[in-house]
Amino acid sequence: MSAERFYRLGILGDERARKSLSPRMHGHVLAKHGLQGVYVALPTPPELVGQAVAEARAMDGLNVTVPHKAAVIEFLDELAPLAQAIGAVNTIINQGGRLIGDNTDAGGFLDALAHGGFNPSGKTALVLGAGGASRALLWALKSAGCARVLLSARRDQAAQALAADFGAQALAWAAIEDACPAAELLVNATAASSPAEAPELARRILALPLPAGGLTLDINYGRADNFWKAAALARDRAFSDGLTMLALQARRSFYLWTGLDIPAGDYFEALEDYHA
């Protein structure tokens, strides 16, 4: 591959962007493939998002992470159809000075399911959590032919509104146990994954009557003591954490910026010695 072009890339978020693994992954890929460039963290407070997007016109592309995935939209020149449908942008592409917002979270999520050997077509999925990340997950599941998509969250009204946006079925937080026996796919889109973060939720999840042979996917990563994983293994289910999804959506973003189809293994390689 040519090393003549210099790629200017980065990730836009709040202070959490400083801890992102994206610079590590993309930096590894740039170096491994002889590409010149940088990928930097751009921690930005909400009131300066517009300025940060304007400054991105001097870059080739950005990832966007919490809490700015919706806030950046008004400052972009155009939205790709997928970002428009989801209502969130996690990738900005500079096309000749025009900033195009796209979304690779949905594709990365479906790639992670495939990596885990799970085909959502015709299946029942239960998604827990109604934050911004759930938008891409619900769109992906519906687009992949999932027969029944259930959404539940502590904030019942938020779950109802989000479910209505994507043709999913809202489920009361108090009733998730009733849906579990049919949940071939369980997705954690809440912020908690370790007992220390949410002891009551941990006890509840560990007791869920999940069917054997399905998949539990936690979009978080970096928890050595993960109660979603413990619950999956106790029910003879496959488990995947957010590192897989992170790597696979990063690969999709890199393709949008560069047109280069980098092997997924190169992204996993960058995370091999990651320890939270």
**What amino acid positions are annotated as catalytic residues?**
69
- Cβ contact 8:58 at 8 Å: yes
- Rounded to whole angstroms, the Cα distance separating 180 from 217 reads 14
Q: CB-based burial of residue 192 (10 Å sphere; 0-12 exposed, 13-18 middle, 19+ buried)?
A: buried
Q: Cα–Cα–Cα angle for 136, 94, 49, nearest 5°? A: 65
Helix 105-115 vs helix 242-258: crossing angle, to nearest 10: 130
Residue type at 213?
Answer: G
- Rounded to whole angstroms, the Cα distance separating 1 from 12 reads 28
Task: Collect all residues with Cβ–Cβ distance below 8 Å to 172 and sequence separation of at least 6.
Answer: 152, 156
- Rounded to whole angstroms, the Cα distance separating 271 from 180 reads 32
Distance of CA 209 to CAs 18, 116, 149, 156, Å?
38, 21, 18, 22
Task: Collect all residues with Cβ–Cβ distance below 8 Å to 162 and sequence separation of at least 6.
Answer: 130, 134, 135, 138, 151, 153, 168, 170
Helix 22-32 vs helix 242-258: crossing angle, to nearest 10: 50
- Total number of residues shown for the chain: 276
